[in-house]
């Protein structure tokens, strides 16, 4: 866990743009309330006037948050020696699309996450959307590659859907199969209480620009703090 | 387009639960305001008090929408002979996770969508998250399979990332390669202005329970109106 980050005063982040960012404990409840709102909008049955009122109020809040904002996307930032993927749609503390996954690392290099997927992640009735499974597996396989010391971008990703993944409590796991130069071959799966539902294999490749001395340093800086 | 749906009074939906649903023109602006909120929360730089105020207000709105809601997920519903995937995280009019994609069908069976991805879909700095590309491609390949008359669940999905996909204006396309019994083999890609960035191949399989006479009827009912 990132206790240092929780306790630290806001710092200027380095990497892409030098702008301050918030404390995680300030942002997390805001993002979580938006996750609730996303879920509620999928499932609500309130009357039309209530929907219209919610729309007006939400548009006004969004406008207030937009009154001062970074011009582009969040990027990958480094603050106090620790990387921030706060905009990331799988793990980001600023991103209500993210369930979010909290990635755990064990000493063997295996990475895992336990999480809950609700109505906003549904494809076929009662089941996780196949593309959502792919989204989450891409992230966790990439995290396993990074845990091996060679963080990379996805080169190929292959998914085998063994059966439907029910909405609810789920787990994802990933591990490195082998490393060849700048390529890390990773495998993993998504599981419910009865075992694997989707199996994944991926090749993650260190970007060309990050292969030199200087590039590697900058690229590594943008990885989780265990690799900084 | 679904003009009948736009103009019709709310109807009782059939399929999973017989509950009324809203007009699309009432829901779409609400969901879109939440998309704005998701993006704004990734990018905002307002002061701490404004974040706290936004959190309080959003939590209150979510609670109001939750005051009356369906007990589980949205599912796939049929209203006035037309399927509704309103909870779907890629195309759903109720789901702020969805960019959304609006799928276009041409007479050759090719399906496509043009859309914009902003900061909430970012992986590496300035680029679309590899898993988001997988999410969108899974959906559109599945739509191509359905357009061929055999809607199915994802069996396998293989993605080849040729280069980074920049955030911004994008296009996705998919088409059927061949059909073998209950399996439809589909290909597709994601493109920016310079051409394909991610290539995809998928096999979509009609679920076992939907292969008989009765099952096929029920399954087809849950597909877009061109197949109902």
Kindly report each contact of residues B51-58 with a partner whose C-beta sits within 8 Å and lies 24 or more positions away, as own/partner.
B51/A22, B51/A26, B51/A27, B51/A30, B51/A65, B52/A26, B52/A30, B54/A30, B54/A61, B54/A64, B54/A65, B55/A29, B55/A30, B55/A33, B57/A57, B57/A61, B58/A30, B58/A33, B58/A34, B58/A36, B58/A37, B58/A58, B58/A61
Give the mean model confidence (pLDDT) for residues B190-215: 89
**Which of B88, B89, B96 minimises the CB distance to A41?**
B96
pLDDT at residue A18 greater than cutoff 80: no
How far does B222 lie from chain A, in Å, by closest CA? 9
| A4 burial via Cβ count (<10 Å: 0-12, 13-18, 19+) | exposed
Least confident of A207-211, B28-32, B79-83, B192-196: B79-83
How far does A64 lie from chain B, in Å, by closest CA? 8
Which tens digits make up the pLDDT trace of B44-87?
Answer: 999 999 999 999 999 999 999 999 999 899 987 766 556 788 99
pLDDT band at residue B142 using 50, 70 and 90 as cut-offs? very high
- All residues of chain A having their beta carbon less than 8 Å from the beta carbon of residue B50 are 64-65
Chain-chain contact of B129 with A135 (C-beta, under 8 angstroms): yes
Chain-chain contact of B138 with A131 (C-beta, under 8 angstroms): yes
Which tens digits make up the pLDDT trace of A158-180?
Answer: 999 999 999 999 999 999 999 99
Which tens digits make up the pLDDT trace of A79-114?
Answer: 655 678 899 999 999 999 999 999 999 988 899 999
Query: Quick one: pLDDT at residue B181?
Result: 93
Chain-chain contact of A58 with B59 (C-beta, under 8 angstroms): no
Query: Quick one: pLDDT at residue B82?
Result: 63
Give the mean model confidence (pLDDT) for residues B136-158: 95
Chain-chain contact of A41 with B34 (C-beta, under 8 angstroms): yes
Chain-chain contact of A44 with B68 (C-beta, under 8 angstroms): yes
How far does B158 lie from chain A, in Å, by closest CA? 4
How far does B28 lie from chain A, in Å, by closest CA? 10
Give the mean model confidence (pLDDT) for residues B191-208: 96
How far does A84 lie from chain B, in Å, by closest CA? 12
pLDDT at residue B155 greater than cutoff 80: yes
- All residues of chain A having their beta carbon less than 8 Å from the beta carbon of residue B86 are 42
**Which of A42, A75, A125 minimises the CB distance to B95?**
A42
Residues with Cβ within 8 Å of residue B31, at least 6 apart in sequence: A41, B92, B93, B94, B95, B96, B98
pLDDT band at residue A215 using 50, 70 and 90 as cut-offs? low
Q: Which residue of A has its CA nearest to B61?
A: A54
Task: Tell me which of A52, A154, A184, A188 to substitute to probe the interface with B (most B C-beta atoms closer than 10 Å).
Answer: A154
- What one-character DSSP code corresponds to residue B87? T
Determine how β-strand A77-79 pairs with β-strand A104-105: unpaired
How far does B54 lie from chain A, in Å, by closest CA? 6
pLDDT at residue B194 greater than cutoff 90: yes
- All residues of chain A having their beta carbon less than 8 Å from the beta carbon of residue B189 are none
- All residues of chain A having their beta carbon less than 8 Å from the beta carbon of residue B94 are 41-42
Cβ pair A161, A133 in contact under 8 A: yes
**Which of A37, A51, A156 minimises the CB distance to B58?**
A37
Average pLDDT, chain B: 86
């Amino acid at each position: 866990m990132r206790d240092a980050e929780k306790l630290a005063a806001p710092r200027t982040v380095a990497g892409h743009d030098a702008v301050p960012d918030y404390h995680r404990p300030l942002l997390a409840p805001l993002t979580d309330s938006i996750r609730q709102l996303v879920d509620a909008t999928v499932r609500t049955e309130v009357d039309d006037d209530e929907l219209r009122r919610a729309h007006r109020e939400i548009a006004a809040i969004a406008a207030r948050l937009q009154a001062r904002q970074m011009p582009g996307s969040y990027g990958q930032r480094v603050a106090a020696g620790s990387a921030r993927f706060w905009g990331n749609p799988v793990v980001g503390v600023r991103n209500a699309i993210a369930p979010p996954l909290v990635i755990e690392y064990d000493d063997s290099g295996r990475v895992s996450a336990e999480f809950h997927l609700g109505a906003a992640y549904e494809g076929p009735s009662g089941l996780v959307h196949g593309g959502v499974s792919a989204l989450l597996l891409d992230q966790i396989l990439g995290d396993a590659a990074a845990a091996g010391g060679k963080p990379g971008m996805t080169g190929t990703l292959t998914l085998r859907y063994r059966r439907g993944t029910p909405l609810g409590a789920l787990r994802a796991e990933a591990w490195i199969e082998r490393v060849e130069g700048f390529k890390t071959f990773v495998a993993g799966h998504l599981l419910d209480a009865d075992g694997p539902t989707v199996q994944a294999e991926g090749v993650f490749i260190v970007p060309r620009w990050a292969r030199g001395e200087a590039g590697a340093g900058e690229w590594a800086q943008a990885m989780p703090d265990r690799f900084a």
